[in-house]
Every structure is written in C-alpha cells, then in structure tokens.
Structure 1
C-alpha cells in the first residue's frame, strides 16, 4: 500500500509540473543515465531540478522499476521525478515553459574554437572555401515553438513573435610558408571576423548580430515562413613574396638584394541554416452564448481560431484539447566535433537544445473534472466539429501513445447547469505554442425558448394509424417552423404551420408517444427546446352496419336452436323443460 508520504510526493510533483518553475542550486541526485540522451551537466542553476529529467523523452525507459522505488518514505520530489522519467515519458496538458528556460541558458555553454580550430555539432552542414574552412551556421532553437505530429508529417508552429538561437564557427587555413629557393612566401592572418549574423525570411531581414552565439528576435510574422540564419565570414591574409634575381642554388645566398611584394588575399563565405515554420495565429476567433428559458442552464460555442491546447471558461472549468505535449532533445547535437587542419576529435556535447512536441492522444477534447454520481461536472461537451485526421506514428524511443484517428477540433459546444451565465462572457484560449493565449469575448445569442408538442390521432385501424403533430412556442402559442417530430419509428419535418402528419405502419396498442427535436442551438438562430407528448388511441367501435350484421348473424345462428328446444318442450307438454304449463 502506498504510504501517505509517497502520495504527498506524487501530488506535489504533479503540482510543480503544472506550475511555475523555481530556481535550483544543485543537480539531480538520481543515478546518472548511461545514455547520451540526457545531458551530463544536469540542470545547474537554469532550471528546476525536478523538471530537468522529464525534458529528455528520447532517453531509454526502464519500465521494470518496482513500485517500492516510488513508495519509499525517503524519496524526495527530485528523486521521484528522476525515477519517473527513467521509467516512462511524461506528457503535459500545455507546452512546458522549462524548455525555453533550458535553451536560453544552455546555448551559453558553447565555446567556439579559434583561428586554427572550428567547433560544431555533429549534425552541422559544413562549408569550405579556399581559406575559410569548416564554417557552419547552426540553428540551436526557435522559441517558443512546438513541433506538431499528425498523420505522416510534422510541422513546427511558432508564435508571431519570438527568437531564434544560433551558433556559428569556422577556422582559417593559412598556406604553408616557403623559405627555400629564389622565390619565398610568408603567410599570416591580417584580420578575420564574423561580419554579420542575420535572421531572414524570404523577403526581409528581421534581426542581426556579429557573435558566435546569437539570439535573434522576430515579430509580426504570419502564414508559413522560412526562417534562415545567414552568417557572413571574411578573412584577409598577409602574403609576402620575396624574390632574388641572382640566387646561387648551391650556397643559398642571394648575390643581390631581395625584392619584397606584399598582397592581401581576401575571401568571404556565407553559411546558412533554415527552419520552415507555420505561424499559429488567433484569427477568426469568436463565440456565442445562450440561456435556457425556465431552466438553470447556459450553453456556449467557442471557435478558437487557432491550433489550441486548452480553453479556460472559469477558474474551475477548463476544456482540454486533443493534444498532449512532451519535450525531447534535438538530433545532431549529442556529439560536439572539433576540427583542425590535421586532427578531428569528438566529445559528448554540453550544448544540448530541447524541443517541445505535440501529439493527439485522444480523439476529441474533454473536460477534466472531479464530478461524482451526485454532482454534475461544471461543463458538459455537447458537440465538437472539425476535420477528422489520422494519428501519427512516433519513434520507438518515445513512450507516449497517440490515437489512430482524431478530430482536429475547430469548434466546441458546451453547456453548464452549475456555472452562472456571466462565466461565459469571456473565455481564454491557449495555443499549442507556449505563452500564446487570447481572451475571446462571447456574444449573447438569445434564449432557448420552451416548446409544446400536441398529438392527435386522426385515424387508427388494424393496418396502422395517422397522427397529426403540432409544435408551438409554449409561452406565446406561436407555431414553431423548424425541427422534426418523431412518433414511433417515423419522423417528419414540421411545416410552416408548425404541423406534421405521420403515418404509422402498425396500430399502436393504447397510447402514442411523440418527441420534438429542435435544430441544434449551436447551429441555428431559431432557439427552441425539445418537447415530448403522449396521447391515447381511441377505441375501435364497430359501425351501425356491422352491428346489424352481427344481430342478423346471431339470430341466424341461435334461432334454429331456440325453435328446436321449444318444439321439444312442446311435444312433451312442458314435462321436459318446463317451458309450458302442464294441462
């Protein structure tokens, strides 16, 4: 049985996971992971040490841990977090902020080389010129951003404003000196520099820098963009050429003076790295609210207008979307490579970017609550709509299971019988990109009015029945001209007079039940509630002609028998039956 202390640790960890990240001064105390998926340098002072282990979902998971490891009274929250991350991968309802905190600090760990040595991640694309060698520009992170996985593809979503973190490095190949013969060469570097680091889209420059470690900002983006980091690197060499016209090859002296020429060869190389992104914009977001006549009920429709993670309706009521979020390291950064003209070395990288990912783990949104059998949840989802899509397939390294099919929900209709109508005046939509939210004003769309249904059996016989239905507004008696009426297994739309005639193929036993189904309140401007009614089937009395026929048939059947009995009694002079008095 789980101890009270263990339960408290779990609850506290879950609370920390969903809240603000605190400053930590130590490193995680869990046993080090032998995989290079988790950085060796730990959280240091950049990130909460409880959150650090769950950022690396591609690490090997050991699902065979015993439950006692999680129930120990000696476990701290940090130890519990490390064990949890080592046994499975952790998903979140919203994009974790810790990824940005980690990336912003970790890029500072990059130590560039010098004029003779270039340092780059193993996945970098290298460019070589005549003198500039092993040059690269490497995008470290685009943040905030979320890589969304759907079907057989993925896309990187960003907010309209954010930053691109990038590193760059190179080395200079200086030609060897030649100090023999009548023509001698001496080479050196006059100057070399990173002339500029620019963040570009297809049509403009967004920001610039001149550093090996750059934080480049962007804003006002929309649609689909190519974010490109372009680095201009230049070098200017000093080349001295010494010539002797009267040179003695045998004794190596110059019998005349050396003539010296100096030139300054230059070269410029541009290296780039790009990320294709989709801007997650809140456009066309709106909503409407209705109240129900004579009922403590409110309904609302929200159109988020963007890829969304959650919708806050009230402090105690939140809609949760299809998506769950996890963090993982970025491929190509596990190893850092150092190159010189003659040597290449590799080490485990201390510069490790993390990336937020989103996958659909349920086929449609839900409303997490603590509702019981005796208490209604604060929100009930009436309907959702959007395009149905295939779920993605994730790497075997990720221990999170997506759904096979899901609805990419663009609209949600909800109702509540516990929240006051004022709770629906505004809703806050949170996007799939961290920090992105929009408060949506909800318009009042009117009142769902009570309706009344009347049934009248026009005809009923052995072969069926004909039922006339009339639907009116309960308060005014005006006909309702939208919706459908169902009687038995037959259904019909009401006409302009609020009526419908339904023919039943079988005669009802004694009563007829009917239901009026209005158009969905979230799809129509004609707002009416559902209604039910019951009426009796009148008895099937025989006609006058059939009564006469019955009398005649009865007489024809029983008159001969009566005459025979009377005749027998007559012959016996009343002695047998006593119908006649004896003389």
Structure 2
C-alpha cells in the first residue's frame, strides 16, 4: 500500500453490483476434467450445436454430477486462486462482500475475510446440522486490507497544519481455535496460515477465528503565528514568529472473522475375527459420519456423495477510498466441498465378495439441497453411516482394514490398540429321534463347540435352534428335548448363532437332517423298496422266457 490520498471530499457514489461467475477455462494447475467438477450450483444451460466444448465440460454445463470422493482439485484451486486477490495502496481498501470490517480514527475499512480451510468438507447432515469438518492439520486462507484516512490540512493566517504518514502495516494475523492462539504471521493482503495437530474439543464444535491487526503512524506538524514584543532603545518593538510543533499519532485497529468448525479426526474402534474357513470378519465404529470401509477383498461405500460449489460471498469485491465505494467482479473464487446423503440406508455398493452383516448409524431428517444444485437428493429420514460389520474372504497376507472419512485424507487404519479380537469357532449340532407317533415326533438336539466339545447353551446367550420352523433353546448341558408335529419324512435342526461380536466366543452355523423313522429304519426301508423293484423285474423275465422259449433264463448262467 503506497501512494497518496486525495484531500478533496466529494459525495460518495455506489455503482451497481456486478454478478460473479466462475472462470470459463481451467486454471491454477487444475486439468480440464477435474476443473469442471468444481462448479456445482452454477446456472445450467443447453449447449448450442455450434458450441465446440469437451465432453466433461458439456456434462457440467447442462447438469451437476455427484462425486465419489472429495476431489484433490478443490485444494489445488484454493491454494493458488487466493493469489488473484488484487493488491491496493494505502488510500484504497478492497474486500469481498462477506468480509468483517471496522473503522478507527485514521484506519478505515479495516477488514478480514476467511476464504476457506483446506482440506475441509461441509457435511449436510440435516437442515439444522451442517458442520464444517476440518482435519487436525490444514491451512486457512483469507485476505486482510485497510486504508489510511489522512486528516485535512489547515491553512489560516495564524495556524497551519501538515500531515504525513510515516508508517503503516498489517502488524499481525493470528489464527485462533476455540479462542486460543494457534499461529501468528505477518502478511500483505493475502493470508495463508498452516496449523498442525489441532485436537477437537469436548462439544465437537469450536470457533476458528482469523484476527488481523493493522497499525499506522502519522506525524502532525502544527505551525502557529506568535507575536513577540520587546523594548528596543526605549521603544516597544513587536515581531511575528512562526512556531513549529510536531506530534506523532499512533493507531492500532484489530478486526476478526469467525467460523464454526468441527475438527474431523474420528476415533476408530471395533472388533475383528478370523472365521474357521479363513475369512476375515470386522466390525468398525467411528465417532463421526464416514464414507466407507476398505478390506483386502474390496470396499464398502456408505450413504454419502460429494459436490463442490463456489462461495458466492466472493463473487463481488467492494473497493473503497476516501471518496467512493465501487463494486466489481471478483477474480477470486474459493470453492467448498460438500457431503450429502443419497441413500436412506446406512451402506451400499459392497464389493461382490463382501457380505455386509449389519450396519449402524444415527437417523437424520434429510436436508434440502440448494435450489441451484442440480443433484438428486433423498426425502424424509435416512441413517448416517457410523458403523458397519462385514465378512470378506482373505486373499493375501494383507489383512489391513481402513476407514475413509468425509474429509479428504482422513483415512484411518484399524489398529490392534483399538480393536478387540474375538474367536469364532465351528459349532456341531446332533439330532436324535426319541419317539414317533402318527402325529408327533420327539427329538433330542445336542449342540456343542466342535473344537473344544464344550456344550453351547443358547438359553444363556443370544442365538437359537430352529427345528422345523420352531425356535428352541438348549440348556446348560447343550441339549434340549421337545415334541413337534410330524410334518414329513425328515426333520432339520439348524443352529442360528447371534452376531459373533456380541458374545465370546462366536460361532458359525451348523445343521443336521434326519429321517423321521430314524437312521437304521431309513436304510431298511430303502433296501426293501429296492428289493421289491428288482424282484418284480426278475419275475417278469422268468415268465417271458418260459412263454416264448427264448432261453435267456437264468440271465447269469453264462457268467
């Protein structure tokens, strides 16, 4: 900020607001296909036959497209785009319309504006809950500006004043989290402050404040006419003298802007197991909504998708000087990643070899997207992804489990420190027929651990035996006797264990089917049936041989 101000005061004027719009071509190191993903919410239009546009651009011009993950292009754009903020001299200040501004005596239009936090995601959980998730390590971008108002000089027959600016600067810019200073810097009009290892507070939401302090020093010189009379040779002689007095004026003005954020560093916990056949079982819980789970055999995506839109408070810049206030189109277009729900269920899109056993979440009232965003959204309630249980085949030695969050780069491994390992064993069920009548069957069911032989008492743990459609439970010795209606020639008993992570140890299912007559009677019945069929065939051959005289009886005589 260097130069001179004008001292002639005229009536301030305001020009009409200029509507903002995004850039027309890729810039700031963002390639074409990624560039067009950054402008959801802008006006859609039809493409004329004469327009020569690429396929990605044509798609984004006519509609908005949901994204599967937060794009890296949003961070690249914000880091480089902020440098487009126009520089000013000491007589002019320029701010976006969303800036926070204040005035001092000599410092006017002292303002600060947060352009964005990178990386970050605004999660549209519901109409009322839309936290801005930021990672523990990130960068805050913004702008600071001010102008110096120099008092008018005076010139009268007896008094004259002169003003000079001897120094002015942005003394400091401080980033505060939850009211506590995190980092200080000095800057011109563009702010870039990186923060590290920021922890979340107990409530989850906290203030992120950008505080700027500007200073100015002015020197006021006052000349006063003074008449001094003294006797000279007996006569009174008077002379006019000009005195000089110099006074220094210092002023410091502080202004700040605050956004509410939530530090997104979800704690990951859960359970894991290895099934008897070698499959991997995991249950993962996170303290915040999250996007998906990655297993060695593939991944599971949650109910969230993403879009990127520009911050429209930066569409227009307001420029002020001593005389006028004008508006103009902003060359700076910071963008923000948004996460929104697209399905009512907690999970979807599991890899074909992965079985989703259960899912957990919190029910929310689905938010309405901005009318300018051309994306399908859900109505009513949905379940936000907080936990998931899955089973997947083990294909290699890599047994790592990773959870991906809603903020780019927020990927967490499920570690042994936060995981409980639960054994899962085979179960063995035996079914014995005790008695049968024309209408009923009395059976005994025995259930035990196939590895240790320990009885499994379903009466004291979750899970049950399904016996021909009826639920029964084994007692402390792992057995149960019951009488059921006779419905067919066979009876099936199946052990339906509860989820393996709810009771230690966990078990896999087992089943057995027996004939109502018992195992021995079943074979006797089978032999009798076959004997009758074979005997009938041999008798028919004997009679044919005797009647026709063909001489083939007995059929084994030539063996």
TM-score of the pair, normalised by structure 2: 0.78
Larger deviation: 481-490 or 144-153? Answer: 481-490
- The answer to whether residue 201 in structure 2 is matched with residue 220 in structure 1 is no
- Match status 1:59 vs 2:34: no
Deviation of the 1:221 alpha carbon:
1.1
- Which of 443, 449, 472 pairs up with 2:426? 449
Alignment CA distance shift 1:257-1:121 (3 Å):
same
Which of 313, 316, 323 is the aligned partner of 2:295? 313
Task: Work out the CA distance in 2 between the residues paired with 1:520 and 1:286.
Answer: 14
Offset at residue 379 of structure 1 (A): 1.5
- Conserved 8 A contact 2:216-2:251: yes
| Structure 1 residue 108: Cα displacement | 0.5
Name which of 277, 281, 294 aligns with 2:265.
281
Render the CA deviation track for 1:201-259: whole Å, top value 9, x for unaligned. Answer: 23532222221212111111111432211111111112122222459xxxxxx971222
Q: Secondary structure at the match of 1:392?
A: coil
Equivalent of 1:243 in 203, 224, 248: 224
Counterpart residue number, 2:497:
518
The gaps in structure 2 that reach 5 residues or longer are: 1-17, 229-237, 519-559
Measure the CA separation in 2 of the matches of 1:174 and 1:500: 97
- CA distance in structure 2 between the aligned counterparts of 1:60 and 1:503, rounded to whole angstroms: 72
**What 5-or-longer segments of structure 1 have no aligned partner?**
1-34, 248-253, 370-376, 540-583
Match among 530, 536, 541 for residue 509 of structure 2: 530
Say yes or no: does 1:290 pair with 2:274. Answer: yes
Work out which of the residue numbers 325, 337, 362 in structure 1 matches 2:306.
325
Q: Contact 1:289 / 1:301 at 8 angstroms: preserved in 2? A: no
d(CA) in 1 for partners of 2:265 and 2:278? 36
* Deviation of the 1:328 alpha carbon: 0.6
Alignment map for 1:18-167 (pairs within 5 Å): 38-40=21-23, 42-62=25-45, 79-152=54-127, 153-167=129-143
Q: Using a 3 Å threshold, how does the CA distance of structure 1 residues 47 and 282 change in structure 2: closer, same or farther?
A: same
Compared with structure 1, are the counterparts of its residues 392 and 494 closer, same or farther at alpha carbon in structure 2 (3 Å cutoff)? farther
Displacement of 1:445 after TM fit? Answer: 3.5
Could you tell me how far 1:487 is from its partner in structure 2? 2.9
Contact 1:379 1:415 in 2 (8 A): yes
Q: Given that residues 37 and 60 in structure 2 are in contact (C-alpha distance below 8 angstroms), is that contact kept between their aligned partners in structure 1?
A: yes
Aligned counterparts of 2:381 and 2:436: Cα–Cα separation in 1: 49
2:159 & 2:506 partners in 1: Cα distance? Answer: 98
Cα distance in 1 for residues equivalent to 2:19 and 2:33: 19
Distance in 2 of aligned mates of 1:141 and 1:311: 28
Residue 367 (structure 2) aligns with: 392
Q: Sort the Cα spacing of 1:204 and 1:457 in 2 relative to 1 into closer, same or farther, 3 A.
A: same
Larger relative contact order, structure 1 or 2 (CA cutoff 8 Å, min sep 6)? 2
CA RMSD of the aligned region, Å? Answer: 3.0
Bigger mean CA offset, 221-230 vs 398-407: 398-407
For residues 217 and 94 of structure 2, what CA distance do their matches in structure 1 show? 21
For residues 293-442 of structure 1, the aligned pairs below 5 Å read 295=277, 297-304=279-286, 306-314=288-296, 317-362=298-343, 363-369=345-351, 377-403=352-378, 404-417=380-393, 419-420=394-395, 422-423=397-398, 425-441=399-415
> What does the per-residue CA deviation read over 1:282-301, in whole Å, with 9 as the maximum and x for residues that have no partner?
43435412223xx4644333
Matched, 1:492 2:492: no
- Decide whether the 8 Å contact of 2:125 with 2:340 is kept in 1: yes
Note the C-alpha offset of 1:478: 4.0
CA distance in 2, matches of 1:501, 1:147: 59
1:499-546 CA-to-partner distances (Å, cap 9, x unmatched) read 234565x6535544433211212333222222333445569xxxxxxx
Counterparts of 2:409 and 2:186, CA distance in 1: 29
Aligned positions of 1:246-285 closer than 5 A = 256-285=240-269
* Distance in structure 2 (CA, Å) of the matches to 1:36 and 1:457: 87
* 1:545-569 CA-partner distances (Å, limit 9, x unpaired): xxxxxxxxxxxxxxxxxxxxxxxxx
Matched, 1:191 2:191: no
Q: How does 1:464-483 map to 2 (within 5 A)?
A: 467-474=443-450, 477-482=453-458, 483=463
- Match of 2:252, SS state, is strand
Calculate the TM-score normalised by the size of structure 1: 0.75
SS in 2 for 1:90: coil
Conserved 8 A contact 1:157-1:278: yes
Secondary structure of the residue aligned to 1:82 is helix
Q: Partners in 1 of 2:396 and 2:446 — Cα distance?
A: 32
Q: Measure how far apart 1:176 and its partner are.
A: 1.1
Q: How many residues align?
A: 477
Per-residue deviation, 1:409 = 2.6
Q: Secondary structure of 2:197's match?
A: coil
CA contact (8 A) 2:291 2:385 kept: no
Secondary structure of residue in 1 paired with 2:76: helix
Check 1:86–1:381 CA distance in 2 against 1; reply closer, same or farther (3 A cut). Answer: same
Deviation at 1:89, TM superposition (A): 1.3
* Kept in 2: contact 1:487–1:514 (CA 8 A): yes
Instruction: Give the secondary-structure state (helix, strand or coil) at the position aligned to 2:348.
Output: coil
Q: Contact between 1:127 and 1:134, CA under 8 Å: does it hold in 2?
A: yes
